[in-house]
Structure 1
Amino acid sequence: MLTLKYGIHRNILWLKLKGRHERTPGHPTVFTETEEQAFVYYCLAISNYGFPLTGFDLRCIVKSYLDRVGHTVTCFKNNFPGVDWHNSFMAGHRILTQRFTQNISTARAAVDKKVINPFFYHLESEIEGVPGSNIWNYNETNLVDDAGSSKIITKRGKKYLERIQNSTKSCTSVMFCGNAEGKLAPIYINYKSKHLWGTWIEGGPAGERYNCTSSGWFDCKTFEGFFMNTMLPILRRQDGPKVLIGDNLSSHLNLEVIRKCGKHNMSHSTTTECNTPIARSWKIILAEWKETAAGLRTAMIHKQEFPNLLKKLVEKIEENQGKNLSSGFRKAGIHPLNREEVLNRLYGHVQDRENESVKENVTALLNI
């Protein structure tokens, strides 16, 4: 009956019942499970030390290992694994992934417990007893005019991949501020201009405010305007102590802001930023606008177009806004207060059990 219903030959069923198909289908793996796990832990260890491997680096390490142990793999050219092996290796070990890296300076990488712990001692005294709804973090973000590159479909072997799309190096400074419960305050926009025209402030998100400076950056006066006109009315309506957290940019350290904070039972502190995926959503919106008739005609975003695009950005990030903001505060160790969230991401301060596991596996690999 099975042969008629599913088209399975009776000999296949007989072989299955006799246990003749116990082996895993497909080509056998080049390395043992122990060897592959050693490669995995090696990748994790190097990444934790601040020097993550590329796919090419991993293939070079595998070749070096094969040459050292005197093992020749016939499916590798000169014992050098190809891209197909690398892709299969990554697919078989889901703990690993490939992402774009962010370069940081050696000075920033040198931050350790001696820097982090005093900061959290100060932060703990500032936010003790303060609910998440009263803990706010502001972040000055530059919304650029370049949508960036994206993967496209083209003929294999084509050397020069180009796409016609106007862009410039211009950007607009926007101040985002949210609290640990996931609420986003009205946005404050700062244009690069000496004068602010009425057509530049129409059609934007609800409650937003606009200003301008000759440099396009937030200076002390502009930051004071953001605090007085956007944040102070919100903070005044909240009961109990409030905390406003941001970076230590000199223009954000305003004496009048600090005076107002003291008057209204607020603390103004500095820490790392709690970012939402604003840049990623902005690139999607910008790329879509670049394909419109208005986007094709101009090399840069006209200021009268910017409020409409900003409104689309706010609508796009609203769906996961609460989750992203709460996650940002948690990963920064602010709410709930947990310095280990930060310490565990510092180079040289990975968890002990991970260190021991990495050490044992890498040592085993090197001693083979």
Structure 2
Amino acid sequence: MKSAIRDIRGGAKLRPTAALYGIPVMTLSDYSKRDSYDLSFRMGRKPVFSREQETEIRDQILLLASMFYGLTPQSLKAAVFTYAESNKIKNPFNKDKKEAGKDWMYGFLKRNPEISIRRPEPTSVNRILAFNATEVQIFFDNLSSTYDKYRFRPRRIFNVDETGINAVHKPGKILAPKGIKQVGSATSWERGKNITICCCISAKGQYVPPLIIYPRLRMHPSLEQGGPNGSSYRCNKSGWMTEELFFAWLVHFAEHTKPSLEDPVL
């Protein structure tokens, strides 16, 4: 039937095609007029949900992920079970655990390549609330008006950002005796300690030496050895950027870029 309908939709005549495949003419005529008739071939067991239902599930997953409330694989399997039971959809899901199986989930991911299992980056509520269309538009409006006013040249346009570097390296695999429950490898600390580095570069490639912030209460001269020339070194208990340290970075930035009323910096 599918081959006959494919031929009809390709321009073949109805009666010769019906005779060729041994299908009654009126039956073939009826099926070929159905726009929704699915010509795709499926192997294996029939999916639990229709294409429309899986599309609805997919869209909800993408929506929740965009709102920073993505589903875990476990919560997806539980939600799908509830969805199937509430809509009286026949399914082979686990009634005791009240969740769909791994086979269904991996099949769903295969049928919907827009979705994959990812490890999310922790994002604070403050950052989420600040990152919306209105706030972003305000930023670009301010950027545009400032640029139109001063007409900065590329060498005077700078981008600044901070990053955290873990001071504890992750040991690679080693050869060790069998039967030992735990194998160790020497590191500077057992738990991670982040060092914050504030970096800055212009649109033309001019590099401002970084500000390096150590997670400690007091500085020591040895901590200032071996860094990039002109770097600034600070410390605080957390090792994170603070208002006071960012002001210190602005002073450091001004010393290297020499902004003035005649030659301003963005």
Is 2:156 the partner of 1:134?
yes
SS of the counterpart of 1:186?
strand
Is 2:99 the partner of 1:80?
yes
Superposed displacement of residue 126, structure 1: 1.7
Superposed displacement of residue 63, structure 1: 0.9
Q: Distance in 2 between matches of 1:137 and 1:85?
A: 46
Q: Distance in 1 between matches of 2:85 and 2:48?
A: 14
Structure 1 or 2, whichever has the larger Rg, is 2
- Which of 27, 51, 71 is the matching residue for 1:53? 71
Cα 1:106/1:30, change in 2 over 3 Å: same
- Structure 1's unaligned 5+ residue stretches are 1-17, 151-160, 237-259, 268-368
Q: Distance in 1 between matches of 2:248 and 2:139?
A: 28
Superposed displacement of residue 40, structure 1: 0.8
Give 1:29's aligned amino acid. P
Name 2:198's counterpart in structure 1: 175
- Which of 122, 125, 132 is the matching residue for 2:145? 125
Name 1:265's counterpart in structure 2: 264
Name 1:101's counterpart in structure 2: 120
Superposed displacement of residue 184, structure 1: 4.9
Superposed displacement of residue 214, structure 1: 5.7
Q: Distance in 2 between matches of 1:26 and 1:183?
A: 60
Name 2:33's counterpart in structure 1: none
The answer on whether the counterparts of 1:196 and 1:212 sit within 8 Å (CA) in structure 2 is no
Q: How does 1:5-20 map to 2 (within 5 A)?
A: none
Cα 1:40/1:147, change in 2 over 3 Å: farther
SS of the counterpart of 2:209?
coil
How high is the sequence identity, in percent, across the aligned residues?
18
Q: CA RMSD in A?
A: 3.9
The answer on whether the counterparts of 2:164 and 2:195 sit within 8 Å (CA) in structure 1 is yes
SS of the counterpart of 1:46?
helix
Superposed displacement of residue 43, structure 1: 0.9
Q: Distance in 2 between matches of 1:149 and 1:41?
A: 41
Residues 339-367 of structure 1 show CA distances to partners (whole Å, capped at 9, x for unaligned) of: xxxxxxxxxxxxxxxxxxxxxxxxxxxxx
Name 2:58's counterpart in structure 1: 40
The answer on whether the counterparts of 1:174 and 1:189 sit within 8 Å (CA) in structure 2 is yes
More helix by share: 1
Superposed displacement of residue 122, structure 1: 2.4
Superposed displacement of residue 67, structure 1: 0.8
- Which of 210, 232, 237 is the matching residue for 1:187? 210
Cα 1:172/1:51, change in 2 over 3 Å: closer
Give 1:53's aligned amino acid. L
- Which of 105, 111, 121 is the matching residue for 1:92? 111
SS of the counterpart of 1:88?
helix
Give 2:120's aligned amino acid. T
Cα 1:132/1:44, change in 2 over 3 Å: farther
Superposed displacement of residue 174, structure 1: 1.8
Give 1:139's aligned amino acid. D
Q: Distance in 2 between matches of 1:44 and 1:203?
A: 46
Cα 1:102/1:211, change in 2 over 3 Å: closer
Q: Name whichever of 49-58 and 105-114 sits farther off.
A: 105-114
- Structure 2's unaligned 5+ residue stretches are 1-20, 22-39, 173-180
The answer on whether the counterparts of 1:211 and 1:222 sit within 8 Å (CA) in structure 2 is no
Q: Distance in 2 between matches of 1:201 and 1:173?
A: 14
Superposed displacement of residue 117, structure 1: 3.9
May I ask how many residue pairs the two structures share in their alignment?
Answer: 210
SS of the counterpart of 1:126?
helix
Q: Distance in 2 between matches of 1:54 and 1:98?
A: 8
Give 1:54's aligned amino acid. T
Name 1:355's counterpart in structure 2: none
SS of the counterpart of 1:167?
coil
